[in-house]
Amino acid sequence: MVKFIESELMQLRSEVYQMWTLVYNQMDQARLAVLGLDKDIAQQVIVRERRVDAYELKIDSDVEDFIALYTPVAVDLRFVLAMLKINNDLERIGDYADGIARFVRDSEGSVLDRSLVERLQLNEMFEGVLDMMRDLQQSLIDENPVKATSVMDKDDTLDRIKAASTGILVDYASSHTDAIALCMGLAGVFRKLERTGDHLTNIAEEIVFFIDAKVLKHTSADTGRQSSADGHVTGN
């Protein structure tokens, strides 16, 4: 019995890591595609999106099987629930990478204004997302809730860059009327990256839930309260 449980959980964990790596590469490739307006790279990202979807279906199915066959409790139950939710978040992040690639594929320009890219901090936005993904995967591997929680702070940087990008793009579009469509597309890229940060925050919460059985969702920032898995709300 124990062997079966351990083996199934290892398999599920391995699948999530593989999907994680795939989605990370998708986002990294989407970054290269945008910065170089490279339609070939964009096309590769779009094609590989099907693999992300396939992973999502496989992990969903494996989690369902595990719950049905092994009726997990305690840490095992928290683990499979966390994997199910992380799977969903990774799939959405994969969708955003795909959406960014589609913008590149469908854009009419062939090069981005370097100074605009720098003012927008587009590369920094991508790097922030990729940093969060790397750190969160490591926190899951190490089962380190402190590291997972610390990643959540980085989401603020993404929010700040995204908030600033709107004004910069409006200014640029008003003085470069031929680049209005491009600016709208870039605004979409920032929105997707900002949403990716939100999904990564969710993933951090799921990792903490799995390891510590603490529910960080909807935590009141001013009171610092958190909920435990048994539904009790505790003060810090």
Burial (CB < 10 A; 0-12, 13-18, 19+), residue 105, is middle
Applying CB under 8 A, the site for other proteins has a residue count of 16
222 is an interface residue for other proteins by CB under 8 A: no
Whichever of 72 and 99 has its CB closer to other proteins, that residue is 72
Token representation of residue 88: 């969903």
Least CB distance from residue 80 to other proteins, whole Å?
A: 12
| 181 half-sphere exposure, CB direction, 13 A CA radius | 7
Decide if 103 contacts 45 (C-beta within 8 A). no
Judged by CB under 8 A, the residue of 11, 61, 150, 228 near other proteins is 228
Residue list 75-94, contact with other proteins (CB under 8 A): 75-78
Quick one: three-class SS letters along 173-210? Answer: HHHCHHHHHHHHHHHHHHHHHHHHHHHHHHHHHHHHHH
72 is an interface residue for other proteins by CB under 8 A: yes
Judged by CB under 8 A, the residue of 73, 115, 177, 220 near other proteins is 73
Burial (CB < 10 A; 0-12, 13-18, 19+), residue 55, is buried
Least CB distance from residue 217 to other proteins, whole Å?
A: 16
Whichever of 78 and 154 has its CB closer to other proteins, that residue is 78
Residue list 157-186, contact with other proteins (CB under 8 A): none
Whichever of 74 and 111 has its CB closer to other proteins, that residue is 74
Task: State the Cα torsion 79-85-90-92 to the nearest 10°.
Answer: 180
111 is an interface residue for other proteins by CB under 8 A: no
Output the CA torsion sign for 105, 47, 31, 29: negative
Least CB distance from residue 232 to other proteins, whole Å?
A: 9
In the complex, the residues that contact other proteins under the rule CB under 8 A are 1-2, 5, 71-78, 213, 228-231
